[in-house]
Amino acid sequence: MKSPAPFLDCSSLAAFLNGSSDWIGQEMARYLPDREPKSYLYDLARDYPSRGGKRVRPALLLLSCTLAGGEAALALPSALALEMFQNFALVHDDIEDGSLLRRGHPTLHRIHGVPLAINAGDFLLGLVFELLAENEPLLGAAKAWEVQREFSRVFRETFEGQAMDIGWVETNHLPDRKEFETMIQKKTGWYTGRGPCQIGARIAGADEAVIAALGQFGQLLGIGFQVRDDLLNLAPDSSLTAPGVLSGGYGKERGGDIAEGKRTLVVIELLERLPPGEAERVREILMTPPAETSPEDINWVIDRAEQTGSLEAVSRHCSDLGHRAGRILEGLPPSPQTSLLESLTGYLIRDRNA
């Protein structure tokens, strides 16, 4: 059923993100009721959404839809489905990585145990398809099917990228730059950027050239967002406060990526700059089980990344991704939405500290 859209204020990035986040949060509550099995399922499913977060993905979808001339209300089920998928992915990702914190609080599986957390994540994924079924009466069967196909592509690319990310840790493989680029294009490029932008434009009935341009923009934005995340994970105040729309902390334990053995661009850059003996020590630290990785080893890796200029090099790469994304926006007709996308790019890739 079509839900009336609130007035989404496009006068500033903060106004739009706060408005769209509130709308998404209110609508999500309809699918996450306060009923039995409350303490085993619904409380768990509501946990991560209640911790805050930026809700960038649904905002991107709504912006892309309205930029292309569509109604925000027509994009609501897809925006909600994307946010449900995001929360499903976080629950499972935390289990796969053995993460300790999410949005400034203990991860779901640490609170409730792995079996209940997995089931709650599975439930959130099931809601994705429940929401996508609402597109048919809103958009018509043909367009609803197009949107479903876009979602299916997002799922496939995301899970392929996640398989690479996890598989490298499990097999003690250190990827080269080309392998890393393939992984991040699949995982975060599609899931955070290209998918939301293309889905929103398709709902609006945009032509293929506009869909492709927004998809290219979204991929650069998504990759930059992830690389920026990797930098923030090494920042001193990364874990203390849950992230908000444009405020708060990073919300995960500082250096958690190092403890988990994550293969990030910072790691690749660092290994290329260190002498052989120190590079070998980094490899050994990455291959050590998280519970056995000492704070001293984590701090040593972070210090060397700073001293060798690796952090600065990755930061410059983020800025370059932002400039490339901005050039794509310059090729689109000027509008309040393109201005917001430009502001969002600057914030997420260059200026974000949470």
Which residues, in sequence order, are bridge partners of residue 105?
102
Q: What does DSSP assign to residue 102?
A: E
HEC per residue, 23-43: HHHHHHCCCCCCCCCHHHHHH
CA distance 23 to 342: 22
**Alpha carbon 183 to chain centroid, angstroms:** 14
Please state the rounded mean pLDDT for residues 106-121: 98
**Would you state the pLDDT for residue 54?**
84
Backbone torsion region of residue 4, taken as left when φ is above 0, otherwise alpha when ψ lies between -120 and 50, otherwise beta: beta
Closest CA to 84 of 42, 129, 39, 116: 129
When pLDDT is cut at 50, 70 and 90, the band that residue 325 belongs to is: very high
How far apart, in Å, are the Cα atoms of 20 and each of 17, 27, 159, 228?
5, 11, 27, 23
Find the angle CA(315)-CA(320)-CA(321) to the nearest 5 degrees.
95
Give tens-digit pLDDT for 49-107: 999 888 999 999 999 999 999 999 999 999 999 999 999 999 999 999 898 899 889 99
Element (H, E) at 168: helix 141-170
pTM above 0.85, yes or no: yes
Residues 208-258: tens digit of each pLDDT: 999 999 999 999 999 999 999 999 999 886 555 555 555 555 566 789 899
Check whether 353 has a pLDDT greater than 70: no
Backbone angles phi, psi at 105, to 5 degrees: -135, 165
Question: Dihedral angle at the C-alpha atoms of 85, 266, 185, 25, nearest 10 degrees?
Answer: 20
Per-chain mean pLDDT for the chain: 93
Average pLDDT over residues 2-15: 81
pLDDT grade, residue 313 (50/70/90)? Answer: very high
Question: Residue 156's pLDDT is what?
Answer: 98
Which two three-digit tokens encode residue 303?
Answer: 């210090």
Largest CA distance in the chain: 63
* Dihedral Cα 72, 56, 183, 113, nearest 10 deg: -110
What residues have CB less than 8 Å from 178, skipping those under 6 apart? none
User: Is 39 exposed, middle or buried, given 0-12, 13-18 or 19+ CB atoms closer than 10 A?
Assistant: exposed
Domains and CATH numbers, the chain: 36-231+242-351 (1.10.600.10)
Q: How many residues does the chain have?
A: 354
Residues 289-311 have a mean pLDDT of 95
Residue 320: pLDDT band with limits 50, 70, 90: very high
Q: Which residues contact 229 (CB under 8 A, 6 or more apart)?
A: 250
